[in-house]
């Protein structure tokens, strides 16, 4: 198991480097062909003269060949010296500032959506076909179909501005006031979770129904186990395998960009909102940095999911081949 694990991690590290390289090249190339992407023109102000633009181009190295520009960009990125073209702020510092906000949002929402999805999905499966199950099906579909920016905006306006139950926007650091931190995040967590609760509860419902028909569940009953034990130890334990896999992937995706809309609606000033603003300004350094940051999380979470999958299902080996 140990050498298997080491080989797996090494392989994953190599593929992570490859993915990050590919992502950075693609983003960089897209940017160079984008209309209005020339940073020198944009930095020079509203009515620039040709000499001003030339000067900026020379100063920032935009006149170098593309591969040199790319190399410089990557070098600066990894030494933490990249500076935004427009705000002149250090990009890595900005990401570091946004990271706790994004993580607070993502971790909280992931816990909430998993807890609700398991409860609702299990309940739905146990009541399959009855009125309560049908009602939950409709609710889940509504949740899946509702755009997060719309739901977020409605919540922020009605629960925040109008009724004043929750702060409409903003973020308070945990270290500063844990309760305010929590209170400010309730609405963002909810808005972000709704879609996932709807989707996950449907997946879990069908997994539970399928598992309940398995022979080993019949064996568990024949053994004289209590119904509760049959349900938790055998049905749920097996039904959770696919959903935990999804969970890891979606958690990575939320950190790596899935929370952009939620962060923007609620003004959380996280990494997602930073990404959104940078894209709006066609500001290459932060776009590069944020994309790499997102890709990094997605790749890492993918590897974590594979390890978790092998731990959850003993039939799966880490080489990726099922044992039998």
Partner 1 sequence: MRARSPLLTVRDLSVSFKTEEGTVQAVDTVDFELGAGEVLAIVGESGSGKSVTAMSLMGLTRGHNATISGAAEFEGTELVGADGEELRKLRGNRMAMIFQDPMSSLDPVYRVADQIVEQIQAHREVGKAEARERAIELLDAVGIPDAAGRADAYPHEFSGGMRQRAMIAMALSLEPSLLIADEPTTALDVTVQAQIIELLRDLNRRRDLSILLITHDIGVVAEIADRVAVMYAGRIVEYGSLDEIFYDPQHPYTWGLLGSLTRIDRPRPKRLPQIPGMPPSLLAPPRGCHFRPRCEHEFDRCTEVPGLEPRLADAPGHCDRCWLEPARKRELRKVGENNQVGPA
**Site for partner 1, rule CB under 8 A:** 214-216, 218-227, 229, 233-234, 237-238, 241, 312-315, 323-324
Q: In the chain, which ranges are E strands?
A: none
The minimum distance between CB 304 and partner 1, in angstroms, equals 19
Q: Which is nearer to partner 1, 105 or 122 (CB)?
A: 122
Rounded Cα distance between 111 and 100, Å, is 16
Please give the distance of CA 78 from its chain centroid, rounded to a whole number: 22
Q: 196, 250 in Cβ contact below 8 A?
A: yes
Q: 128, 209 in Cβ contact below 8 A?
A: yes
The minimum distance between CB 239 and partner 1, in angstroms, equals 11
The minimum distance between CB 122 and partner 1, in angstroms, equals 17
Q: Which is nearer to partner 1, 132 or 219 (CB)?
A: 219
Q: Which is nearer to partner 1, 49 or 226 (CB)?
A: 226
φ/ψ of residue 106, rounded to 5: -70, -45
The minimum distance between CB 313 and partner 1, in angstroms, equals 6
Q: Count Cβ atoms below 10 Å from residue 197 Cβ, excluding itself.
A: 25
Q: Count Cβ atoms below 10 Å from residue 283 Cβ, excluding itself.
A: 21
Rounded Cα distance between 59 and 67, Å, is 17
Q: Which is nearer to partner 1, 139 or 241 (CB)?
A: 241
The minimum distance between CB 222 and partner 1, in angstroms, equals 4
Q: 234, 284 in Cβ contact below 8 A?
A: no
Q: Which is nearer to partner 1, 11 or 229 (CB)?
A: 229
């Amino acid at each position: 198991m140990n050498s298997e694990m080491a080989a797996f991690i090494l392989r994953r590290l190599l593929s992570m480097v490859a993915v990050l390289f590919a992502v950075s090249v693609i983003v960089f190339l897209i940017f160079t062909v984008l209309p209005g992407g020339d940073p020198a023109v944009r930095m020079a102000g509203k009515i620039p003269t040709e000499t001003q633009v030339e000067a900026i181009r020379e100063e920032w190295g935009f006149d170098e060949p593309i591969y040199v520009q790319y190399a410089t960009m990557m070098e600066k990125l990894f030494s933490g010296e990249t500076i935004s073209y427009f705000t002149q702020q250090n990009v890595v510092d900005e990401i570091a500032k946004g990271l706790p906000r994004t993580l607070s949002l993502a971790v909280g929402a992931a816990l909430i959506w998993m807890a609700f999805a398991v409860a609702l999905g299990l309940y739905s499966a146990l009541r399959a076909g009855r009125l309560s199950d049908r009602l939950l099906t409709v609710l889940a579909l509504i949740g899946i179909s509702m755009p997060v920016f719309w739901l977020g905006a409605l919540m922020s306006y009605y629960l925040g501005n109008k009724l004043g139950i929750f702060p409409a926007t903003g973020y308070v650091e945990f270290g500063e006031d844990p309760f305010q931190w929590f209170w400010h995040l309730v609405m963002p967590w909810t808005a972000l979770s709704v879609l996932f609760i709807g989707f996950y509860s449907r997946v879990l419902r069908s997994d539970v129904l399928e598992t309940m028909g398995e022979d080993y569940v019949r064996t568990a009953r024949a053994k004289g186990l209590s119904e509760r034990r049959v349900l938790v130890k055998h049905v749920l334990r097996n039904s959770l395998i696919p959903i935990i896999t999804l969970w890891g992937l979606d958690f990575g995706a939320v950190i790596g960009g899935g929370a952009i809309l939620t962060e923007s609606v609620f003004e959380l000033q996280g990494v997602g909102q930073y990404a959104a603003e940078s894209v709006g300004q066609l500001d290459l350094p932060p776009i590069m940095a944020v994309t790499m940051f997102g890709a990094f999380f997605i790749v890492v979470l993918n590897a974590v999911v594979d390890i978790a999958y092998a731990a959850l299902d003993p039939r799966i080996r880490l080489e990726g081949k099922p044992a039998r």
